[in-house]
Amino acid sequence: MTVWVVLRFSLLTACLLAVSACSVGERPTLLEAEAGDGPLDAALVASAGPAGAETDAAAMQEDTTPEPDATSNSEGEQLAAIDLGDLPPALVSPLGVVVPVLGGTETGYLVQTPCGNEQELLWGQPLREADVVIDPGHGGDERGAIGPSGEAEADLNLDVARRVASTLDSQGISVALSRTGDYRIPVATRAALADRLEAKVFVSIHHNSPTPVSGPANGPGTEVYVQVGSDASKRLGGLVYEEVLAALSVFDADWATRSDAGVLTVLNTEGEDAYGIVRRPAVPSVLVELAYISNSTEATVLATPEYRQAAGDALAGAIVRFLQTGEEGSGHIDEPRFFDPSGATGGDEGCVDPALE
């Protein structure tokens, strides 16, 4: 099947986010941008790279000369034929939102929106693969925990996630972000993206609340939730815990922790992983609660760029060790924790999709 796709090449359309996973001939260079309210402002933006826009055009279509039956749209832009016989598993939409591809249509791609709906996109930047999917927890009207000074967990998670992606990309590891801006995305869509890309690693980034009443601890109360019965998830969790604990311990704070903090399974009353973001992906997955945003002294540390970079580098280091070694990490807790989530967040009820194009 053939569709017509507008060939527009700019800083944005070279490949907005998850650029190391994009299907382009010359990998774009990652630049760090300031956080904003929408996908266009969401951190890792690609420059055109050494080869410029012409290289990106060649990657999508070897011959950009219009075919005899090519037409133009209402703005006079040339439309060129693109073969959808080999569909990518995901796309970066024109406005920078990463979406799973469900199929092709006569005029474009059928994609799964962040809220789990189906939508046709005329075009987008294909994502052919991603060894790693980084998942910034919460977003949009689901703000997550709120710190004493009003800092929303969703924003903090996204900042750290961008830094993880940037560090991994600089080491040649293909990576995609499940959420690229401040919008809501249900757990089912996050998991679907990781599975569609057949990622080797899925890490969901969070910051914890409420603060335990056990008093100050000697180090951060980092917790990593792993998939029940998965040796790969357990190993990934041990490496994440080890790297994060070492990186955060250098900061001065009255750390809060639970007595069973570490690498553990959290089960519901049915014996399944309690958190859908751990249970749903078929790929090795972990959820990390880096520190307590609800604890005032920790929140002061979490607000600094030094903490956010250290946390991002630690997570990236753990992922590299998981991919390149057989190391087990540390911090494993044998006894599971039992918990039944309320289900108040992470679903699609009331979800409003961001603009994709």
What pLDDT digit, counting tens, does each position of 50-78 carry?
A: 233 333 333 333 333 333 333 334 344 43
Examine residue 354 and say whether the peptide bond preceding it is cis (omega within 30 degrees of 0): no
- For 187-214, give the DSSP string: HHHHHHHHHHTT-SEEEEEEEE-SPPSS
Tell me what pLDDT residue 54 has: 33
**Whether 120 and 137 share a structural domain:** no
Residues 183 and 318 in one domain: yes
CA nearest to 178, candidates 140, 229, 149, 150: 140
- Residue 343's pLDDT is 75
In this predicted structure, what is the pLDDT of residue 248?
Answer: 98
Question: CA–CA separation, 355 vs 66, rounded Å?
Answer: 29
Q: What DSSP element (H or E) covers 345?
A: none
Could you give the 3-state DSSP secondary structure of residue 21?
helix
Phi, psi of 58 (to 5 degrees): -65, -30
pLDDT of residue 21: 56
Percent helix, strand and coil across the chain, each to the nearest 5: 25, 20, 50
Q: Which of 64-68, 80-84, 307-311 has the lowest mean pLDDT?
A: 64-68
Q: What is the pLDDT of residues 190-224, one digit of tens each?
A: 999 999 999 999 999 999 999 998 767 889 999 99
Q: What is the CATH number of the domain that holds 317?
A: 3.40.630.40
Helices of type H across the chain: 52-60, 153-170, 187-196, 231-248, 276-279, 296-302, 305-324
Model pLDDT, residue 36 = 40
Three-state secondary-structure class, residue 224? strand
What pLDDT score does 38 carry?
47
The reply to whether 232 falls in a domain is yes
Looking at the fold, whether 329 and 302 belong to one and the same domain comes out as yes
- How crowded is residue 116: how many other Cβ atoms within 10 Å of its Cβ? 16
Count Cα neighbours of 309 within 13 Å in the Cβ-side half-sphere. Answer: 4
Say if 28 falls within a structural domain. Answer: yes
Residue carrying structure tokens 């992983």: 273
Decide if pLDDT at 300 tops 80: yes
Q: Between 68 and 313, whose confidence is greater?
A: 313
- Number of helices followed by number of strands (H, E) in the chain: 7, 17
Residues 197 and 303 placed together within one structural domain of the fold: yes
Q: Considering the chain, what percentage of its residues have pLDDT values greater than 90? A: 72
Burial 135-172 (b: 16+ CB within 10 A, else e): bbbbbbebebbebeeebbbbbbbbbbbbbbbbbbbeee
Task: Kindly indicate the confidence band of residue 20, based on its pLDDT and cuts at 50, 70 and 90.
Answer: low
258 and 150 in a common domain:
yes
Q: What is the pTM of this model?
A: 0.81
For the segment 31-43, the average pLDDT, to the nearest whole number, is 38
DSSP, res 40: G
Number of domains in the chain: 2
Reply yes or no on whether the pLDDT at 45 is more than 70. no
Indicate if 98 and 120 belong to the same structural domain. yes
Which candidate, 245, 237, 256, places its Cα nearest to that of 336? 237
Q: For residue 344, tell me if it sits in a domain.
A: no
For 50, the 3-state DSSP assignment is coil
Answer with the one of 127, 161, 188 that is the final residue of a domain: 127
Q: Does residue 136 share a domain with residue 33? A: no
Q: In angstroms, what is the C-alpha Rg of the chain? A: 21
Angle between helices 153-170 and 305-324 (to 10 degrees): 50
Q: Which of 75-79, 90-94, 127-131, 283-287 has the lowest mean pLDDT?
A: 75-79
Pairing of strands 263-264, 223-226: parallel
The mean predicted confidence, pLDDT, of the chain is 82
Please, what is the angle between helix 305-324 and helix 231-248, to 10°? 150
Please return the burial class of 270, using the count of CB atoms within 10 Å of its CB with bins 0-12, 13-18 and 19+.
exposed
Indicate whether 287 belongs to any domain: yes
- Considering the domain architecture, whether residues 185 and 247 belong to the same structural domain is answered as yes
User: For residue 168, what pLDDT band results from cuts at 50, 70 and 90?
Assistant: very high
What's residue 76's pLDDT?
40
Last residue of a domain, one of 75, 97, 127: 127
Question: Above 70 in pLDDT, residue 49?
Answer: no
pLDDT for 14 beyond 60:
no
Asked if residue 105 belongs to a domain, the reply is: yes
Shared domain check, 309 and 238? yes
* pLDDT of residue 42 exceeding 60: no
Q: Say yes or no to pLDDT of 119 above 70.
A: yes
Residues 251 and 139 reside in one and the same domain: yes
User: Containing domain of residue 47, as a range?
Assistant: 2-127
- Digit-coded pLDDT (tens) for 238-296: 999 999 999 999 999 999 999 999 999 999 999 999 999 999 999 999 999 999 999 99
Task: For residues 156 and 189, state if they share a domain.
Answer: yes
Residue 349 included in any domain: no
Q: Are residues 235 and 331 in the same domain?
A: yes
Q: Which residue has the tokens 């809501």?
A: 184
Let me know if residue 345 belongs to a domain.
no
Report if residue 25 sits inside a domain: yes
- Higher-confidence residue of 196 and 86: namely 196
